[in-house]
Amino acid sequence: MTLDRRSFLKFLGAGVGAAGAPMISRAADFMPKKGRRVVVVGGGYGGTIAAKYIRMMDASIEVVLIERNKQFISCPFSNYYIGGLISDLAPLTIGYDKLTANHGIKLVHAEVTGIDPAAKVVATANGNIAYDRLIVSPGVEFRTSEIEGYDDKTDQAIPHAWKAGEQTILLRKQLEAMKDGGTVIVSMPLVPYRCPPGPYERVSLIAHYLKQHKPKSKVFLLDANSDVVAKKPLFMKAWKEQYAGIMEYVPSKKVTKVDAATKTLFVEGLEDHKGDVVNFIPPQRAGAIAVKAGLVEAGGNWCPVNATTFESTLHKDIHVIGDSCLAGAMPKSGYSANSQAKVCATNVVALMNGKETVDLSGINVCYSAINDHESISVAGVYKVAEGKIIAVPNSGGISPVDFSQTRLEHLYAESWLKNILTEMSS
Amino acid sequence: MGKMRSRGVSCALLTSGLLLAAAGAQAGASTPAMLSNACAGCHGTHGESAGPSMPSLAGQSKAAIVTAMKEFKGIPKKDAEGKPVLDKDGKPVLETRTSTVMGRLAKGYTDAEIEAMGDFFAGQKHHSPAQAVDKAKVAKGAELQEKHCIRCHVEDGKEGKDNSPIMAGQWLKYLQVQMDLYTGGQRKMSEKMAEKVKPLSKEELDAVLHFYASVK
């Protein structure tokens, strides 16, 4: 996966003559670096927080945040929209104006096209940006090449809705347009993937919508895994008590082929499932730029990092946080990315100032709604032991299975969203 | 939130970090900022909550934070002679404060870490959130709190006696949720508090909460 110097140059299309010539011409360097600089790639749950906390901890470090979109739309809570609990994506949408103004972060709206770890330069469509340290927080990329029949247009007929925005709206529209008595199929990949409880929350909220508005319909969850991988007793209870007859969980169904035209999913050449609305969530790996930059481990899909600094074990001075990285016991969640970003920021500042690094103390808190007034949660505290991120023994866990806290958790979940998005946007 | 504030706060972060280092933290030990920043995803940057049902921790008294965390974790129950009460397996029986995620999270921290987090949040500047309160309730609550609450929630709730929390400028929704847990029997009141709360009606209690939420 690693791009060597030659292919990187080809990729950049930078004009370079004889060997030994500067790799990237000065003219292309559209933000000349004067002092110490950290570049952050990706303005989501991880990147915004890393940029902000570096500036809060050491305002003498210049921080450049590169993000292709003008707004960020949260994946957490996008199932609320799909299930009709909220009527638009506004509560999930944040801009970058306040964040950058409050903290003096330099924002570049551009697509990152390459990273040269040796020259310590990020290439964007606007030009090159040099860094002392780079933090990469690019989320996930779909491994669609592993799925027969999947092409550029597939997600227009069978949306993944696993990156929030147009895809989320498309899936909701399809559910609204479906006749009562229709079949909805949600297909989810093997672990690890972004947001372990997300698919289970999604089918719950789709079932909630169908129960109210299209009670003759049914939603199936085809899980590639052999069992529910997150909050199992809680989801099982919700499905049994609230969605019996309208929702069906089907384990060990790994989809290997799709036919968008007929909205059909094929399971390992053995059987096929046709739906009126099909939500196919493809298998995933580290974000495209992390793959391109050679930050992904050989034979794997994710980026190995140091458990204290989140520095890549493959490329010096490049740190990877959020869904893309291998963070031991921490799940691939928005809250994990937030927590990792702060650990990374703390230690990037320490390293740049020649100070001792501080071991990770991290948290994950993740709520899932099961209907319009009840939510369940998982929470964990993490630390480093023998170079690995582990869950602190005898802590963390899921909500009580008697559902005694579900209404309260639904209320707290709303404030979770408000707080975490406010942290990212101000 | 201007630049001035952020700068002031980062000084506080550095200072508390240095203090811990000076106190001789063992290798690999965390700093107050490292521990506490992880909480901000739910409680807001530096503990300044933007979510109405989530309490602000910025500027809360250390004693109240430490007490809350230890109660979430569970405090060993003692009998009349002060000996720990054991269950049938010989394990100490814990008295825990009702919570959702907090009980699960608090168990992940040592008492020393909880103290460090208490220091961190107590050292942050509190900003009262912009929120709607009912003026008539505020006026009524102002009178009631003087009679019933002021001994522990001192000076219009701007201070807390012993480990009583600071109430002033807290989110109203959070206060209401907690009061419902208290009156519904899901959260245990201290004997002192129970005695003061008992004569007050639901409306009167709500007036007191509107008052505290209104204090800047």
Report ipTM (2 d.p.): 0.91
- Across chain B, where does the E strand assignment appear? 75-76, 94-95
- Which of the four pLDDT bands, split at 50, 70 and 90, describes residue B18? very low
- Across A189-297, where does the E strand assignment appear? 218-223, 247-250, 255-259, 264-267, 271-274, 277-280, 284-286
Q: Which helix (H) or strand (E) holds B22?
A: helix B3-22
Mutation pick from A103, A348, A381, A414 vs chain B, by most beta carbons of B within 10 Å, is A381
pLDDT tens digits along A231-267: 999 999 999 999 999 999 999 999 999 999 999 999 9
Q: Is A380 on the interface with B (CB under 8 A)?
A: yes
Q: Is the pLDDT confidence value at B193 over 90?
A: yes
Report how far residue A412's alpha carbon sits from residue B132's, in angstroms, rounded to the nearest whole number.
19
Q: What b/e sequence results for A377-411 when a residue is b if at least 16 CB atoms lie within 10 Å of its CB, and e otherwise? A: bbbbbbbbeeeebebbeebbbbbeeebebbebbbb
Q: Is the pLDDT confidence value at B176 over 70?
A: yes
Report how far residue A266's alpha carbon sits from residue A269's, in angstroms, rounded to the nearest whole number.
6
- pLDDT at position B28 is 52
Q: Which helix (H) or strand (E) holds A187?
A: strand A183-188
Contacts for A227 with CB less than 8 Å, ≥ 6 apart: A251
Which DSSP letter does residue A23 get? S
Do residue A290 and residue A175 come from a single domain? no
Tracing tokens 């391109």 back to the chain, one arrives at A292
**Helices vs strands, H then E, count in chain B:** 11, 2
The percent of chain B in helix, strand and coil, each rounded to the nearest 5, is 50, 5, 45
Concatenate the DSSP letters of all residues of A233-252 into one string: HHHHHHHHHH-TTTEEEE-S
Contacts for B24 with CB less than 8 Å, ≥ 6 apart: none
CA proximity to B16, closest of A339, A102, A57: A57
Contact A342 B34 (CB under 8 A): yes
CA A187, A190, A191, A196: dihedral to nearest 10 degrees? Answer: 10
Quote the crossing angle between the two packed helices B202-214 and B135-148, to the nearest 10°. 100
- pLDDT at position A269 is 86
CATH code where residue A201 lies? 3.50.50.60
The answer to the question of residue A404 being in a domain is no
Contacts for A156 with CB less than 8 Å, ≥ 6 apart: A170, A260
- Across A8-131, where does the E strand assignment appear? 37-41, 62-66, 72-73, 93-94, 106-108, 112-116, 121-124, 127-130
Give the mean model confidence (pLDDT) for residues B71-80. Answer: 92
Report how far residue A300's alpha carbon sits from residue A219's, in angstroms, rounded to the nearest whole number.
33
Do residue A203 and residue A291 come from a single domain? no
| Cβ-based contacts of A392 with chain B (< 8 Å) | 107-109
Q: Is A2 exposed, middle or buried (0-12, 13-18, 19+ CB in 10 A)?
A: middle
Give the mean model confidence (pLDDT) for residues B95-113. Answer: 96
- pLDDT at position B30 is 85
The answer to the question of residue A255 being in a domain is yes
pLDDT tens digits along A289-342: 999 999 999 999 999 999 999 999 999 999 999 999 999 999 999 999 999 999
| Cβ-based contacts of A409 with chain B (< 8 Å) | 100-101
- pLDDT at position B12 is 46
Smallest Cα distance from B147 to chain A, Å: 31
Give the mean model confidence (pLDDT) for residues B122-127. Answer: 96
Q: Is A28 on the interface with B (CB under 8 A)?
A: no
Q: Is the pLDDT confidence value at A22 over 50?
A: no
Q: Is the pLDDT confidence value at A14 over 80?
A: no
Query: Among residues A358, A387, A409, which one ends one of the domains?
Result: A358
- pLDDT at position A158 is 98
- A-B contacts (CB, under 8 Å): 140
Q: Is A53 on the interface with B (CB under 8 A)?
A: yes
Tracing tokens 């991988």 back to the chain, one arrives at A229
Q: H helices within A13-127, ranges in order?
A: 47-57, 78-82, 97-103
- Which of the four pLDDT bands, split at 50, 70 and 90, describes residue B25? very low
Nearest to A365 among B42, B50, B177 (CB): B42
Q: Is the pLDDT confidence value at A20 over 60?
A: no
Do residue A277 and residue A289 come from a single domain? no
Contacts for B98-102: CB closer than 8 Å, 24+ residues apart: B98/B181, B98/B186, B98/B187, B98/B188, B99/B72, B100/A377, B100/A399, B100/A405, B100/A408, B100/A409, B100/A412, B101/A365, B101/A377, B101/A379, B101/A409, B101/A412, B101/B42, B102/B68, B102/B69, B102/B72
Contact A379 B109 (CB under 8 A): no
Phi-psi region of A394 (alpha: psi -120 to 50; beta: other; left: phi over 0): left
Mutation pick from B37, B46, B117, B125 vs chain A, by most beta carbons of A within 10 Å, is B37
Give the mean model confidence (pLDDT) for residues A81-87. Answer: 98
Give the mean model confidence (pLDDT) for residues B175-193. Answer: 95
Do residue A27 and residue A130 come from a single domain? yes
Smallest Cα distance from B143 to chain A, Å: 30
Instruction: Specify the range with the lowest mean pLDDT, choosing from A79-93, B28-42, B157-171.
Output: B28-42
Which DSSP letter does residue A287 get? -
pLDDT tens digits along A333-370: 999 999 999 999 999 999 999 999 999 999 999 999 99
> Domain span at residue A221?
148-282
Smallest Cα distance from B151 to chain A, Å: 30
Q: Cite the residue boundaries of each domain of chain B with CATH code 1.10.760.10.
A: 9-122, 135-214
| Cβ-based contacts of A52 with chain B (< 8 Å) | 45
**Has domain B135-214 been given CATH number 3.20.20.70?**
no
Give the type of residue at B152: C
Looking at the 3D structure of chain A, how many domains does it have? 2
- pLDDT at position A136 is 98
- Which of the four pLDDT bands, split at 50, 70 and 90, describes residue A186? very high
Give the mean model confidence (pLDDT) for residues B147-170. Answer: 96
- pLDDT at position A197 is 98
Contact B51 A392 (CB under 8 A): no
HEC-encoded secondary structure of A317-385: CEEECHHHEECCCCCCCHHHHHHHHHHHHHHHHHHHCCCCCCCCEEEEEEEEECCCCCEEEEEEEEEEE
Nearest to A395 among B54, B107, B177 (CB): B107
Tracing tokens 């168990």 back to the chain, one arrives at B107
Nearest to A346 among B34, B50, B54 (CB): B34
Tracing tokens 């700093």 back to the chain, one arrives at B31
Q: Is the pLDDT confidence value at A181 over 60?
A: yes
Do residue A265 and residue A154 come from a single domain? yes
Instruction: Tell me which of A14 and A40 has the higher pLDDT.
Output: A40
Q: Is the pLDDT confidence value at B4 over 80?
A: no
Q: What b/e sequence results for B159-188 when a residue is b if at least 16 CB atoms lie within 10 Å of its CB, and e otherwise? A: ebeebbbbbbbbbbbbbbbbbebbeeeebe
Chain A nearest-CA residue for B171: A415
- pLDDT at position A17 is 38
CA proximity to A137, closest of A289, A256, A244: A289
Do residue A314 and residue A193 come from a single domain? no
Give the mean model confidence (pLDDT) for residues A130-158. Answer: 98
Q: At A153, give phi and psi (nearest 5°).
A: -100, -5
Do residue A277 and residue A348 come from a single domain? no
Average pLDDT, chain B: 89
The answer to the question of residue A173 being in a domain is yes
CA proximity to B17, closest of A352, A103, A347: A347
Query: Among residues A228, A262, A282, which one ends one of the domains?
Result: A282
- Give the CA count within 13 Å in the CB-facing half-sphere of B195: 6
Do residue A152 and residue A226 come from a single domain? yes
- pLDDT at position B8 is 39
- Which of the four pLDDT bands, split at 50, 70 and 90, describes residue A16? very low
**B178 forms bridges with which residues in the sheet?**
none
Tracing tokens 């023998």 back to the chain, one arrives at A386
Give the mean model confidence (pLDDT) for residues A198-214. Answer: 98
The answer to the question of residue A24 being in a domain is yes
- Which of the four pLDDT bands, split at 50, 70 and 90, describes residue B69? very high
Q: What b/e sequence results for A46-79 when a residue is b if at least 16 CB atoms lie within 10 Å of its CB, and e otherwise? A: bbbbbbbbbbbbbeebbbbbbbeeeebbbbbbbb
Do residue A121 and residue A29 come from a single domain? yes
Nearest to A343 among B34, B104, B108 (CB): B34
Which DSSP letter does residue B215 get? -
Mutation pick from B5, B26, B100, B170 vs chain A, by most beta carbons of A within 10 Å, is B100
Do residue A128 and residue A227 come from a single domain? no
Report how far residue A165's alpha carbon sits from residue B100's, in angstroms, rounded to the nearest whole number.
30
Query: Among residues A358, A374, A402, which one ends one of the domains?
Result: A358
- Residues A167/A279, Cβ–Cβ less than 8 Å: no
Taking the CB of residue A145, how many other CB atoms lie within 10 A of it?
Answer: 8
The answer to the question of residue A364 being in a domain is no
Q: Is A419 on the interface with B (CB under 8 A)?
A: yes
- Which of the four pLDDT bands, split at 50, 70 and 90, describes residue B21? very low
Q: Is A418 on the interface with B (CB under 8 A)?
A: yes
| Cβ-based contacts of A59 with chain B (< 8 Å) | 7, 10
Give the mean model confidence (pLDDT) for residues A48-76. Answer: 98
The answer to the question of residue A403 being in a domain is no
**Strands A62-66, A106-108: pairing kind:** parallel
Do residue A136 and residue A22 come from a single domain? yes
**Strands A121-124, A318-320: pairing kind:** unpaired
Contact B107 A380 (CB under 8 A): no
Instruction: Specify the range with the lowest mean pLDDT, choosing from A82-86, A155-159, B27-31.
Output: B27-31
Nearest to B45 among A335, A379, A423 (CB): A423
Give the mean model confidence (pLDDT) for residues B109-121. Answer: 97
Q: Which residues in chain A (391-410) have CB-CB distances under 8 A to chain B?
A: 391-392, 394-397, 399, 405, 408-409
Q: Is A411 on the interface with B (CB under 8 A)?
A: yes
**Has domain B9-122 been given CATH number 2.40.110.10?**
no
Q: Is the pLDDT confidence value at A382 over 60?
A: yes
